[in-house]
Structure 1
Amino acid sequence: MIIGIIPARYASTRFPGKPLIDIQGKSMIRRVYEQASQAKCLSEVIVATDDERILNHVQSFGGKAVMTHPDHPSGTDRCWEAYCLGVRSQEPEAKGTSSYSSLLTSHSYVINIQGDEPFVAPEQIDELGAVLDGSVELASQMIPVSDHDVLFDVGEAKVIVNQSFEAIYFSRQVLPFLKGIDPKEWHNHHTYYRQVGMYAYRSDILEKITQLPVSDLEKAESLEQLRWIQNGYRIKMGLTAYESHCIDTPEDVEKVLRLMNA
Protein backbone atom coordinates (compact mmCIF):
# COMPACT_ATOMS: atom_id res chain seq x y z
CA MET A 1 0.00 0.00 0.00
CA ILE A 2 1.13 3.54 -0.78
CA ILE A 3 0.03 6.67 1.06
CA GLY A 4 0.32 10.13 -0.47
CA ILE A 5 1.29 12.96 1.89
CA ILE A 6 1.16 16.63 0.89
CA PRO A 7 3.31 18.88 3.13
CA ALA A 8 1.71 22.33 3.33
CA ARG A 9 3.30 25.11 5.38
CA TYR A 10 1.49 28.40 5.86
CA ALA A 11 4.63 30.44 6.41
CA SER A 12 6.65 31.23 3.30
CA THR A 13 9.25 33.94 2.86
CA ARG A 14 8.30 34.63 -0.73
CA PHE A 15 4.58 33.77 -0.60
CA PRO A 16 2.93 33.61 2.86
CA GLY A 17 -0.33 31.65 2.93
CA LYS A 18 0.47 30.06 -0.42
CA PRO A 19 -1.55 26.83 0.09
CA LEU A 20 -4.77 28.86 0.49
CA ILE A 21 -4.47 31.12 -2.55
CA ASP A 22 -7.34 30.99 -5.02
CA ILE A 23 -6.66 29.48 -8.44
CA GLN A 24 -9.69 29.70 -10.70
CA GLY A 25 -12.18 29.17 -7.89
CA LYS A 26 -10.31 26.60 -5.80
CA SER A 27 -7.47 26.87 -3.31
CA MET A 28 -4.08 25.58 -4.39
CA ILE A 29 -4.02 22.90 -1.68
CA ARG A 30 -7.46 21.68 -2.74
CA ARG A 31 -6.31 21.38 -6.35
CA VAL A 32 -3.23 19.39 -5.30
CA TYR A 33 -5.36 17.16 -3.05
CA GLU A 34 -7.96 16.48 -5.74
CA GLN A 35 -5.32 15.72 -8.36
CA ALA A 36 -3.46 13.36 -6.00
CA SER A 37 -6.70 11.63 -5.02
CA GLN A 38 -7.13 10.51 -8.63
CA ALA A 39 -3.87 8.56 -8.60
CA LYS A 40 -4.68 4.86 -8.77
CA CYS A 41 -1.63 3.76 -6.79
CA LEU A 42 -2.50 5.67 -3.60
CA SER A 43 -4.61 4.08 -0.90
CA GLU A 44 -5.16 7.47 0.76
CA VAL A 45 -4.03 11.09 0.64
CA ILE A 46 -3.26 13.27 3.69
CA VAL A 47 -2.25 16.93 3.98
CA ALA A 48 0.48 17.55 6.58
CA THR A 49 0.29 21.15 7.76
CA ASP A 50 1.55 23.42 10.52
CA ASP A 51 -1.42 25.79 10.55
CA GLU A 52 -5.03 25.42 11.69
CA ARG A 53 -6.29 27.54 8.80
CA ILE A 54 -5.01 24.98 6.32
CA LEU A 55 -6.20 22.08 8.49
CA ASN A 56 -9.72 23.51 8.75
CA HIS A 57 -9.86 24.36 5.06
CA VAL A 58 -8.85 20.84 3.95
CA GLN A 59 -11.39 19.29 6.30
CA SER A 60 -14.07 21.69 5.01
CA PHE A 61 -13.95 20.15 1.53
CA GLY A 62 -13.81 16.60 2.89
CA GLY A 63 -10.06 16.08 2.75
CA LYS A 64 -7.84 14.43 5.34
CA ALA A 65 -5.30 16.56 7.19
CA VAL A 66 -3.10 16.37 10.28
CA MET A 67 -1.29 19.03 12.30
CA THR A 68 2.47 18.66 12.44
CA HIS A 69 5.28 20.47 14.24
CA PRO A 70 5.96 23.97 12.82
CA ASP A 71 9.75 23.67 12.86
CA HIS A 72 10.45 20.73 10.55
CA PRO A 73 13.57 21.42 8.46
CA SER A 74 12.16 19.68 5.36
CA GLY A 75 9.07 18.20 3.79
CA THR A 76 10.58 14.76 4.36
CA ASP A 77 10.54 15.28 8.13
CA ARG A 78 6.98 16.57 7.99
CA CYS A 79 5.96 13.50 5.99
CA TRP A 80 7.41 11.19 8.63
CA GLU A 81 5.48 12.87 11.46
CA ALA A 82 2.27 12.88 9.42
CA TYR A 83 2.77 9.23 8.55
CA CYS A 84 3.20 8.32 12.20
CA LEU A 85 0.13 10.35 13.18
CA GLY A 86 -1.90 8.63 10.49
CA VAL A 87 -0.77 5.19 11.59
CA ARG A 88 -1.44 5.92 15.26
CA SER A 89 -4.98 7.05 14.42
CA GLN A 90 -5.59 3.57 12.96
CA GLU A 91 -4.12 1.69 15.92
CA PRO A 92 -6.79 -0.38 17.69
CA GLU A 93 -7.48 0.63 21.29
CA ALA A 94 -7.85 -2.94 22.46
CA LYS A 95 -4.78 -5.10 22.82
CA GLY A 96 -4.40 -7.74 20.17
CA THR A 97 -2.10 -9.01 17.48
CA SER A 98 -1.92 -5.61 15.79
CA SER A 99 0.70 -3.16 17.05
CA TYR A 100 2.12 0.22 16.13
CA SER A 101 5.20 -1.39 14.59
CA SER A 102 3.15 -3.72 12.41
CA LEU A 103 0.92 -0.86 11.27
CA LEU A 104 4.01 1.05 10.21
CA THR A 105 4.58 -1.56 7.53
CA SER A 106 0.91 -1.72 6.45
CA HIS A 107 1.67 1.23 4.16
CA SER A 108 4.88 0.07 2.56
CA TYR A 109 5.63 3.40 0.84
CA VAL A 110 5.01 7.12 1.28
CA ILE A 111 4.93 9.50 -1.69
CA ASN A 112 5.74 13.11 -0.86
CA ILE A 113 3.55 15.21 -3.17
CA GLN A 114 4.55 18.85 -3.59
CA GLY A 115 1.91 21.17 -2.15
CA ASP A 116 2.73 23.95 -4.61
CA GLU A 117 1.99 22.06 -7.85
CA PRO A 118 -1.77 22.54 -8.28
CA PHE A 119 -1.92 20.73 -11.60
CA VAL A 120 0.19 17.70 -10.79
CA ALA A 121 -0.90 14.85 -13.03
CA PRO A 122 -2.31 11.74 -11.31
CA GLU A 123 -0.56 9.74 -14.03
CA GLN A 124 2.80 11.11 -12.91
CA ILE A 125 2.14 9.91 -9.38
CA ASP A 126 1.21 6.49 -10.78
CA GLU A 127 4.46 6.42 -12.77
CA LEU A 128 6.40 6.86 -9.55
CA GLY A 129 4.28 4.31 -7.74
CA ALA A 130 4.99 1.75 -10.47
CA VAL A 131 8.70 1.53 -9.57
CA LEU A 132 8.03 0.83 -5.89
CA ASP A 133 8.48 -2.93 -5.89
CA GLY A 134 9.49 -3.48 -2.26
CA SER A 135 13.22 -3.57 -2.94
CA VAL A 136 13.37 0.14 -3.82
CA GLU A 137 14.41 2.21 -0.80
CA LEU A 138 13.84 5.70 -2.17
CA ALA A 139 12.67 6.97 -5.53
CA SER A 140 12.19 10.13 -7.54
CA GLN A 141 11.78 11.15 -11.17
CA MET A 142 13.84 12.82 -13.87
CA ILE A 143 13.40 14.28 -17.31
CA PRO A 144 15.96 14.74 -20.11
CA VAL A 145 17.35 18.25 -20.59
CA SER A 146 17.43 19.51 -24.17
CA ASP A 147 17.87 23.22 -23.54
CA HIS A 148 21.10 25.05 -22.69
CA ASP A 149 19.47 27.62 -20.39
CA VAL A 150 17.66 24.95 -18.37
CA LEU A 151 20.82 22.88 -18.13
CA PHE A 152 22.81 25.77 -16.65
CA ASP A 153 20.02 26.99 -14.34
CA VAL A 154 21.34 26.50 -10.79
CA GLY A 155 17.76 26.35 -9.57
CA GLU A 156 17.39 22.99 -11.30
CA ALA A 157 18.88 19.91 -9.64
CA LYS A 158 20.66 17.74 -12.19
CA VAL A 159 21.15 14.03 -11.53
CA ILE A 160 23.66 11.42 -12.67
CA VAL A 161 22.51 7.80 -12.62
CA ASN A 162 24.16 4.40 -12.91
CA GLN A 163 23.11 1.60 -15.26
CA SER A 164 20.36 0.57 -12.83
CA PHE A 165 18.92 4.09 -12.93
CA GLU A 166 19.97 4.73 -9.35
CA ALA A 167 21.22 8.21 -8.52
CA ILE A 168 24.99 8.59 -8.17
CA TYR A 169 24.94 12.32 -7.49
CA PHE A 170 22.73 15.41 -7.63
CA SER A 171 24.10 18.87 -8.34
CA ARG A 172 23.00 22.39 -9.18
CA GLN A 173 26.02 22.54 -11.48
CA VAL A 174 26.25 20.71 -14.79
CA LEU A 175 27.79 17.25 -14.48
CA PRO A 176 29.59 15.70 -16.22
CA PHE A 177 31.93 18.31 -17.68
CA LEU A 178 32.46 17.64 -21.39
CA LYS A 179 36.09 18.32 -22.20
CA GLY A 180 36.83 19.94 -25.56
CA ILE A 181 33.19 20.80 -26.32
CA ASP A 182 31.60 24.26 -26.19
CA PRO A 183 29.33 24.29 -23.08
CA LYS A 184 26.56 25.75 -25.24
CA GLU A 185 26.56 22.43 -27.12
CA TRP A 186 26.84 20.05 -24.18
CA HIS A 187 23.15 19.10 -24.26
CA ASN A 188 23.62 17.97 -27.88
CA HIS A 189 26.47 15.58 -27.01
CA HIS A 190 25.35 13.96 -23.75
CA THR A 191 22.03 12.98 -22.21
CA TYR A 192 21.60 15.15 -19.13
CA TYR A 193 18.74 14.72 -16.68
CA ARG A 194 17.17 17.06 -14.17
CA GLN A 195 15.10 15.98 -11.22
CA VAL A 196 11.37 16.66 -11.32
CA GLY A 197 8.32 15.57 -9.43
CA MET A 198 8.13 13.84 -6.10
CA TYR A 199 9.96 11.65 -3.63
CA ALA A 200 8.87 8.18 -2.59
CA TYR A 201 10.15 6.55 0.59
CA ARG A 202 9.85 2.99 1.82
CA SER A 203 8.37 3.46 5.28
CA ASP A 204 11.25 1.88 7.18
CA ILE A 205 13.78 3.95 5.21
CA LEU A 206 11.80 7.15 5.81
CA GLU A 207 12.14 6.62 9.53
CA LYS A 208 15.90 6.11 9.21
CA ILE A 209 16.71 9.07 6.97
CA THR A 210 14.91 11.51 9.25
CA GLN A 211 17.35 10.54 12.01
CA LEU A 212 20.43 11.39 9.93
CA PRO A 213 22.43 14.56 10.62
CA VAL A 214 22.83 17.12 7.83
CA SER A 215 25.78 16.12 5.63
CA ASP A 216 28.52 18.29 4.15
CA LEU A 217 27.40 17.65 0.57
CA GLU A 218 23.84 18.54 1.49
CA LYS A 219 25.07 21.82 2.96
CA ALA A 220 27.20 22.54 -0.09
CA GLU A 221 24.44 22.02 -2.68
CA SER A 222 21.39 22.63 -0.46
CA LEU A 223 19.94 19.31 -1.64
CA GLU A 224 18.72 16.96 1.10
CA GLN A 225 18.89 13.88 -1.14
CA LEU A 226 22.69 14.06 -1.00
CA ARG A 227 22.49 13.24 2.71
CA TRP A 228 20.78 9.97 1.84
CA ILE A 229 23.32 9.04 -0.82
CA GLN A 230 26.25 9.88 1.48
CA ASN A 231 24.81 7.50 4.04
CA GLY A 232 24.55 4.64 1.57
CA TYR A 233 20.87 4.75 0.66
CA ARG A 234 19.83 4.07 -2.94
CA ILE A 235 17.54 6.43 -4.87
CA LYS A 236 15.79 4.88 -7.86
CA MET A 237 15.16 7.41 -10.65
CA GLY A 238 12.20 6.92 -12.96
CA LEU A 239 11.88 8.64 -16.32
CA THR A 240 8.87 10.89 -16.81
CA ALA A 241 7.59 13.16 -19.55
CA TYR A 242 5.71 15.35 -17.08
CA GLU A 243 7.13 18.78 -16.26
CA SER A 244 6.93 20.32 -12.79
CA HIS A 245 5.00 23.58 -12.57
CA CYS A 246 5.59 24.99 -9.10
CA ILE A 247 4.15 28.17 -7.63
CA ASP A 248 6.79 29.89 -5.49
CA THR A 249 5.78 33.53 -5.92
CA PRO A 250 2.55 35.43 -6.74
CA GLU A 251 3.88 35.99 -10.26
CA ASP A 252 4.09 32.23 -10.80
CA VAL A 253 0.30 31.86 -10.65
CA GLU A 254 -0.32 33.52 -14.01
CA LYS A 255 2.70 31.79 -15.53
CA VAL A 256 1.44 28.35 -14.51
CA LEU A 257 -2.06 29.11 -15.77
CA ARG A 258 -0.67 30.19 -19.13
CA LEU A 259 1.34 26.97 -19.39
CA MET A 260 -1.63 24.80 -18.47
CA ASN A 261 -3.94 26.58 -20.93
CA ALA A 262 -1.45 26.66 -23.79
Structure 2
Amino acid sequence: MKIIAIIPARYAATRFPAKLMQMLQGKPIIRHTYENTVGTNLFDEVIVATDSEIIFNEITQNGGNAIITKGNHESGSDRIAEVAREMEVDIIINIQGDTPFVNKPALEEIINVFKDETVQVASMMQILTEQKYIEDYNYVKVVVDKNMNSLLFSRSVIPYPRNKETVVTYYEHIGVYAFRKEALIRFTKWEMTPLEIIEKIECLRYLENGVPLRMIVVSGIGVEIDTPEDLERASIALGG
Protein backbone atom coordinates (compact mmCIF):
# COMPACT_ATOMS: atom_id res chain seq x y z
CA MET A 1 0.00 0.00 0.00
CA LYS A 2 1.10 3.54 -0.68
CA ILE A 3 0.73 5.54 2.52
CA ILE A 4 1.14 9.29 2.84
CA ALA A 5 0.79 11.73 5.72
CA ILE A 6 -0.82 15.13 5.21
CA ILE A 7 -0.72 17.78 7.92
CA PRO A 8 -3.53 20.36 7.52
CA ALA A 9 -2.25 23.67 8.86
CA ARG A 10 -4.65 26.61 9.07
CA TYR A 11 -3.06 29.82 10.26
CA ALA A 12 -6.10 31.60 11.74
CA ALA A 13 -7.14 29.09 14.40
CA THR A 14 -10.29 30.25 16.20
CA ARG A 15 -9.34 29.48 19.81
CA PHE A 16 -5.63 30.31 19.53
CA PRO A 17 -4.82 32.46 16.46
CA ALA A 18 -1.50 31.68 14.75
CA LYS A 19 -0.93 28.83 17.21
CA LEU A 20 1.00 26.70 14.72
CA MET A 21 3.66 29.39 14.51
CA GLN A 22 3.98 29.74 18.28
CA MET A 23 7.45 28.85 19.49
CA LEU A 24 8.00 25.60 21.37
CA GLN A 25 11.57 25.03 22.53
CA GLY A 26 12.91 27.42 19.88
CA LYS A 27 10.92 26.02 16.96
CA PRO A 28 7.36 26.65 15.69
CA ILE A 29 4.80 24.00 16.65
CA ILE A 30 4.16 23.10 13.00
CA ARG A 31 7.81 22.21 12.44
CA HIS A 32 7.84 19.93 15.47
CA THR A 33 4.82 18.11 14.04
CA TYR A 34 6.23 17.90 10.52
CA GLU A 35 9.72 16.80 11.53
CA ASN A 36 8.45 14.21 14.03
CA THR A 37 6.17 12.78 11.33
CA VAL A 38 8.98 12.60 8.75
CA GLY A 39 11.25 11.08 11.39
CA THR A 40 9.03 8.01 11.78
CA ASN A 41 10.05 6.81 8.27
CA LEU A 42 6.58 5.30 7.88
CA PHE A 43 5.38 7.32 4.91
CA ASP A 44 6.06 7.50 1.21
CA GLU A 45 5.51 11.26 1.48
CA VAL A 46 4.74 13.85 4.17
CA ILE A 47 3.04 17.10 3.12
CA VAL A 48 1.92 20.19 5.01
CA ALA A 49 -1.32 21.49 3.44
CA THR A 50 -1.80 25.12 4.42
CA ASP A 51 -3.69 28.28 3.52
CA SER A 52 -0.82 30.40 4.83
CA GLU A 53 2.30 31.63 3.06
CA ILE A 54 3.85 32.09 6.51
CA ILE A 55 3.48 28.39 7.32
CA PHE A 56 4.40 27.39 3.75
CA ASN A 57 7.63 29.37 3.96
CA GLU A 58 8.46 28.04 7.42
CA ILE A 59 8.29 24.46 6.16
CA THR A 60 9.85 24.84 2.71
CA GLN A 61 12.66 27.14 3.83
CA ASN A 62 13.68 24.46 6.32
CA GLY A 63 13.79 21.72 3.71
CA GLY A 64 10.23 20.46 4.09
CA ASN A 65 7.36 19.71 1.72
CA ALA A 66 4.31 22.02 1.74
CA ILE A 67 1.43 22.95 -0.57
CA ILE A 68 -0.75 26.06 -0.55
CA THR A 69 -4.45 25.12 -0.52
CA LYS A 70 -7.68 27.07 -0.69
CA GLY A 71 -8.49 29.11 2.38
CA ASN A 72 -12.19 28.35 2.72
CA HIS A 73 -12.22 24.70 3.80
CA GLU A 74 -14.67 23.76 6.55
CA SER A 75 -12.40 21.09 8.03
CA GLY A 76 -8.91 19.67 7.95
CA SER A 77 -10.24 16.63 6.10
CA ASP A 78 -11.56 18.87 3.32
CA ARG A 79 -8.15 20.52 3.10
CA ILE A 80 -6.22 17.27 2.79
CA ALA A 81 -8.71 15.92 0.27
CA GLU A 82 -7.85 18.84 -2.01
CA VAL A 83 -4.25 17.62 -1.98
CA ALA A 84 -4.93 13.88 -2.08
CA ARG A 85 -7.70 13.79 -4.67
CA GLU A 86 -5.37 13.49 -7.68
CA MET A 87 -2.70 11.40 -5.95
CA GLU A 88 -2.19 7.68 -6.41
CA VAL A 89 -2.46 6.60 -2.79
CA ASP A 90 -4.18 3.92 -0.71
CA ILE A 91 -4.07 5.18 2.89
CA ILE A 92 -3.91 8.81 3.99
CA ILE A 93 -2.96 9.79 7.52
CA ASN A 94 -4.28 13.18 8.64
CA ILE A 95 -2.00 14.48 11.38
CA GLN A 96 -3.22 17.71 12.94
CA GLY A 97 -0.60 20.44 12.95
CA ASP A 98 -1.09 20.99 16.68
CA THR A 99 0.09 17.50 17.71
CA PRO A 100 3.85 18.05 18.06
CA PHE A 101 4.44 14.87 20.09
CA VAL A 102 3.16 12.44 17.44
CA ASN A 103 5.30 9.29 17.49
CA LYS A 104 6.12 6.16 15.50
CA PRO A 105 4.50 3.44 17.65
CA ALA A 106 1.11 5.18 17.59
CA LEU A 107 1.27 5.83 13.85
CA GLU A 108 2.34 2.23 13.14
CA GLU A 109 -0.64 0.99 15.12
CA ILE A 110 -3.16 3.13 13.24
CA ILE A 111 -1.71 2.01 9.90
CA ASN A 112 -2.00 -1.64 10.94
CA VAL A 113 -5.76 -1.42 11.56
CA PHE A 114 -6.25 -1.29 7.78
CA LYS A 115 -5.28 -4.95 7.59
CA ASP A 116 -8.97 -5.33 8.48
CA GLU A 117 -10.64 -4.66 5.14
CA THR A 118 -13.84 -3.46 6.82
CA VAL A 119 -12.09 -0.43 8.32
CA GLN A 120 -12.65 2.73 6.30
CA VAL A 121 -11.57 5.36 8.82
CA ALA A 122 -9.51 5.14 12.02
CA SER A 123 -8.42 7.51 14.74
CA MET A 124 -6.70 7.69 18.12
CA MET A 125 -7.65 8.30 21.72
CA GLN A 126 -5.83 8.48 25.03
CA ILE A 127 -7.02 8.12 28.61
CA LEU A 128 -8.01 11.31 30.41
CA THR A 129 -7.55 11.24 34.17
CA GLU A 130 -7.68 14.84 35.41
CA GLN A 131 -11.21 16.03 36.11
CA LYS A 132 -10.56 19.56 34.88
CA TYR A 133 -9.68 18.23 31.43
CA ILE A 134 -12.59 15.78 31.40
CA GLU A 135 -14.91 18.75 31.92
CA ASP A 136 -13.07 21.08 29.52
CA TYR A 137 -14.90 21.49 26.20
CA ASN A 138 -11.57 21.94 24.42
CA TYR A 139 -10.95 18.25 25.09
CA VAL A 140 -13.10 16.14 22.78
CA LYS A 141 -14.26 12.93 24.44
CA VAL A 142 -15.14 9.68 22.69
CA VAL A 143 -17.00 6.50 23.64
CA VAL A 144 -16.59 3.20 21.81
CA ASP A 145 -18.28 -0.16 21.48
CA LYS A 146 -16.71 -3.51 22.42
CA ASN A 147 -15.08 -3.73 18.97
CA MET A 148 -13.39 -0.33 19.42
CA ASN A 149 -15.66 1.38 16.93
CA SER A 150 -16.67 4.93 17.83
CA LEU A 151 -20.20 5.49 19.12
CA LEU A 152 -20.07 9.24 19.78
CA PHE A 153 -17.68 12.18 20.03
CA SER A 154 -18.57 15.18 22.18
CA ARG A 155 -17.14 18.20 23.95
CA SER A 156 -19.45 17.30 26.82
CA VAL A 157 -18.62 14.73 29.48
CA ILE A 158 -19.38 11.33 27.95
CA PRO A 159 -20.29 8.93 29.32
CA TYR A 160 -22.11 10.89 32.01
CA PRO A 161 -21.44 9.22 35.41
CA ARG A 162 -25.06 8.83 36.53
CA ASN A 163 -24.09 5.74 38.50
CA LYS A 164 -21.48 7.10 40.90
CA GLU A 165 -20.45 3.61 42.03
CA THR A 166 -19.18 2.55 38.61
CA VAL A 167 -15.60 3.35 37.60
CA VAL A 168 -15.53 5.30 34.33
CA THR A 169 -12.64 5.48 31.88
CA TYR A 170 -12.68 8.70 29.89
CA TYR A 171 -10.99 8.90 26.51
CA GLU A 172 -9.75 12.04 24.80
CA HIS A 173 -9.96 11.99 21.03
CA ILE A 174 -6.57 12.70 19.46
CA GLY A 175 -6.67 14.58 16.16
CA VAL A 176 -4.94 11.96 14.05
CA TYR A 177 -7.14 10.34 11.41
CA ALA A 178 -6.44 7.63 8.87
CA PHE A 179 -8.59 7.05 5.79
CA ARG A 180 -8.83 4.88 2.79
CA LYS A 181 -8.74 7.40 -0.05
CA GLU A 182 -12.27 6.54 -1.17
CA ALA A 183 -13.66 7.19 2.31
CA LEU A 184 -11.99 10.59 2.46
CA ILE A 185 -13.37 11.64 -0.93
CA ARG A 186 -16.88 10.52 0.10
CA PHE A 187 -16.58 12.66 3.25
CA THR A 188 -15.97 15.79 1.20
CA LYS A 189 -19.10 15.17 -0.90
CA TRP A 190 -21.40 14.97 2.12
CA GLU A 191 -23.04 18.07 3.52
CA MET A 192 -22.03 19.15 7.02
CA THR A 193 -24.25 17.27 9.47
CA PRO A 194 -26.26 18.60 12.44
CA LEU A 195 -24.08 17.20 15.23
CA GLU A 196 -20.93 18.24 13.40
CA ILE A 197 -22.24 21.81 13.18
CA ILE A 198 -23.36 21.89 16.81
CA GLU A 199 -20.19 20.39 18.32
CA LYS A 200 -17.64 21.62 15.76
CA ILE A 201 -16.20 18.10 15.53
CA GLU A 202 -15.64 17.07 11.93
CA CYS A 203 -15.56 13.29 12.44
CA LEU A 204 -19.21 13.38 13.53
CA ARG A 205 -19.98 13.70 9.83
CA TYR A 206 -18.79 10.11 9.41
CA LEU A 207 -20.94 8.83 12.28
CA GLU A 208 -24.02 10.68 11.05
CA ASN A 209 -23.55 9.02 7.67
CA GLY A 210 -23.26 5.56 9.22
CA VAL A 211 -19.47 5.16 9.09
CA PRO A 212 -17.81 4.34 12.44
CA LEU A 213 -14.20 5.14 13.17
CA ARG A 214 -11.99 2.30 14.41
CA MET A 215 -10.32 3.72 17.51
CA ILE A 216 -6.97 2.76 18.99
CA VAL A 217 -5.76 3.62 22.49
CA VAL A 218 -2.36 5.27 22.46
CA SER A 219 -0.01 6.72 25.04
CA GLY A 220 2.85 9.15 24.77
CA ILE A 221 1.07 11.40 22.26
CA GLY A 222 1.23 14.19 24.82
CA VAL A 223 -0.44 17.56 24.51
CA GLU A 224 -2.60 18.73 21.63
CA ILE A 225 -2.11 22.49 21.53
CA ASP A 226 -5.47 24.26 21.39
CA THR A 227 -4.88 27.00 23.95
CA PRO A 228 -2.00 29.05 25.43
CA GLU A 229 -2.27 26.84 28.52
CA ASP A 230 -1.64 23.77 26.35
CA LEU A 231 1.46 25.44 24.92
CA GLU A 232 2.77 25.98 28.43
CA ARG A 233 2.09 22.32 29.28
CA ALA A 234 3.89 21.23 26.11
CA SER A 235 6.91 23.36 26.99
CA ILE A 236 7.04 21.82 30.46
CA ALA A 237 6.82 18.34 28.93
CA LEU A 238 9.92 19.16 26.88
CA GLY A 239 11.73 20.39 29.94
CA GLY A 240 11.31 24.09 29.14
For normalisation by structure 2, the TM-score amounts to 0.88
Question: What is the letter of the counterpart of residue 215 of structure 1?
Answer: T
- What is the aligned partner in structure 1 of residue 169 from structure 2? 191
SS at match of 1:228: helix
Which stretch has the larger CA shift, 226-235 or 189-198? 189-198
Query: Which residues in structure 2 correspond to 1:1-262 (within 5 Å)?
Result: 1-84=2-85, 87=87, 103=88, 107-133=89-115, 134-181=117-164, 189-250=167-228, 252-261=230-239
Question: What is the letter of the counterpart of residue 196 of structure 1?
Answer: I
Question: What is the letter of the counterpart of residue 36 of structure 1?
Answer: T
Task: Report deviation, 1:136.
Answer: 1.4
Task: Report deviation, 1:15.
Answer: 4.0
What is the CA–CA distance in structure 1 between the aligned matches of 2:220 and 2:113, rounded to whole Å? 16
Task: Report deviation, 1:206.
Answer: 0.1
Computing the radius of gyration from Cα coordinates, the structure with the larger value is 1
5+ residue gaps, structure 2: none
CA contact (8 A) 1:10 1:54 kept: yes
Task: Report deviation, 1:250.
Answer: 4.5
CA contact (8 A) 1:197 1:244 kept: no
Identity among equivalent positions (%) equals: 38
What is the CA–CA distance in structure 2 between the aligned matches of 1:220 and 1:25, rounded to whole Å? 37
Computed over aligned residues only, the root mean square deviation of the Cα atoms, in angstroms, reads 2.2
Question: What is the letter of the counterpart of residue 255 of structure 1?
Answer: R
What is the CA–CA distance in structure 2 between the aligned matches of 1:118 and 1:137, rounded to whole Å? 25
What is the CA–CA distance in structure 1 between the aligned matches of 2:17 and 2:67, rounded to whole Å? 20
Task: Report deviation, 1:190.
Answer: 2.7
5+ residue gaps, structure 1: 88-102
SS at match of 2:114: coil
CA contact (8 A) 1:196 1:244 kept: no
SS at match of 1:261: coil
- What is the aligned partner in structure 2 of residue 100 from structure 1? none
Distance 1:244 1:197, change over 3 A: farther
Question: What is the letter of the counterpart of residue 131 of structure 1?
Answer: V
Which stretch has the larger CA shift, 76-85 or 14-23? 14-23
What is the CA–CA distance in structure 2 between the aligned matches of 1:177 and 1:21, rounded to whole Å? 35
Distance 1:31 1:229, change over 3 A: same
CA contact (8 A) 2:101 2:220 kept: no
SS at match of 1:143: strand
SS at match of 1:208: helix
Task: Report deviation, 1:79.
Answer: 0.8
1:175-203: CA deviation from partner (whole Å, max 9, x where unpaired): 3334442xxx66xx133322124111110
What is the CA–CA distance in structure 1 between the aligned matches of 2:13 and 2:140, rounded to whole Å? 21
For normalisation by structure 1, the TM-score amounts to 0.81
Question: What is the letter of the counterpart of residue 124 of structure 2?
Answer: Q
What is the CA–CA distance in structure 2 between the aligned matches of 1:158 and 1:17, rounded to whole Å? 25
